[in-house]
Amino acid sequence: MAIAGKDTPRERYRAQLRAEIKQHAWEQIAAAGAPGLSLNAIAKQMGMSGPALYRYFAGRDELITELIRDAYRSLADTIRATADSGADLAGLGHALRAWALDDPQRYFLIYGTPVPGYHAPDDITTIASEIMGALLDAAQLGDTPADTPDDSRLEAHLAEHREWAAGHPAPPSAVRRALLFWTRLHGVLSLELAGQFTGMGLDPAELYFSELRHLTR
C-alpha cells in the first residue's frame, strides 16, 4: 500500500522527473524571467509532448509557486548556514548579495514585482519569517550601531507591533537594525539587479558595501 511511502520506484521516478522539470524551468526563468516560462517549451526540451507535464504539476501557477518556495528555501538555507558558520551581519550581507547575483531572476521571484492576484501559501510566509529570525539573531549580536541615531518614534512603533517576530527576544533596537538591513540592502541590490545603475558609470558594489558598512559599524 505504502500510503505515505516514497520508496516505490514509481515515486522515485516521479520525484526525479519533477526535479528535472524544475531544473528546466529555472533555466527558462534565468533566461527570460518568470513571464517567459512555458510548460510547452519545457516539455519539448525534455522530449515529451505538452500535456504530459500536467501529471507532475497542476498547472503553470503551481510550478511557479513551487519555484518560489524553493527560492525562499535556498535563501533561508544560505542565510542560516552563513550565520551558523559564525558570520555577523556584515557576513550575512555579503552572502545575500552573492546569492542574489548568482541568479537575479531567482531574487526577483521573491522580492520583485508581485502578480496582483497571487497569494503566497502559508508555508512560504513561514520560511520568510525564518529568514527574518536569522537576521534578528545576527542584529542582536553586534554592538549598537553608531551611525544610526535614535528614532524614538520608530522604535516606539516597533515596540508595539512585534507579533510578527514570533516571540523573538530581540530588543527594538535590534529589530530596527534588522529591518534597515533588509530594506536598505534590498534597495541597492534590486536596483542593481534591474540594471538601473548601468550607464551611470558607478559601481553598485560600492553603494552596497557602503550601506553595509553603515549598518554594521
Partner DNA sequence: TGCGTTAGTTAGAAGCTATAACTCACCGCA
Partner DNA sequence: TGCGGTGAGTTATAGCTTCTAACTAACGCA
Measured CA to CA, the distance from residue 77 to residue 66 in angstroms comes to: 16
Q: Given the C-alpha cell 534597495, which residue does it identify? A: 187
- Residue 5 interface partner, choices DNA, its own copies, none, CB cut-off 5-8 Å depending on type: none
119 binds DNA (CB under 7 A): no
167 binds its own copies (CB under 8 A): no
- Residue 159 interface partner, choices its own copies, DNA, none, CB cut-off 5-8 Å depending on type: none
Measured CA to CA, the distance from residue 199 to residue 78 in angstroms comes to: 31
Which of these ranges, 4-12, 52-60, 73-81, 109-117, lies near its own copies under the rule CB under 8 A? 109-117
Which of these ranges, 1-9, 38-46, 61-69, 187-195, lies near its own copies under the rule CB under 8 A? 187-195
118 binds DNA (CB under 7 A): no
- Residue 61 interface partner, choices its own copies, DNA, none, CB cut-off 5-8 Å depending on type: DNA
- Residue 187 interface partner, choices DNA, its own copies, none, CB cut-off 5-8 Å depending on type: its own copies
Could you tell me the three cell numbers for 157?
512603533
CB 164 to its own copies: min, Å: 4
Could you tell me the three cell numbers for 193?
539587479
Measured CA to CA, the distance from residue 175 to residue 157 in angstroms comes to: 11
Which of these ranges, 40-48, 101-109, 144-152, 187-195, lies near DNA under the rule CB under 7 A? 40-48
Measured CA to CA, the distance from residue 105 to residue 113 in angstroms comes to: 11
17 binds DNA (CB under 7 A): yes
Task: Say if CB 99 and CB 74 are below 8 A apart.
Answer: yes
Question: What count of other Cβ atoms lies within 10 Å of the Cβ of residue 145?
Answer: 18
List the one residue from 23, 27, 31, 40 that touches DNA (CB under 7 A).
40
Give the HSE-up count for residue 145: Cα atoms under 13 Å, Cβ half-sphere: 25
Task: Say if CB 49 and CB 41 are below 8 A apart.
Answer: no
CB 109 to DNA: min, Å: 16
Q: Which is nearer to DNA, 33 or 91 (CB)?
A: 33
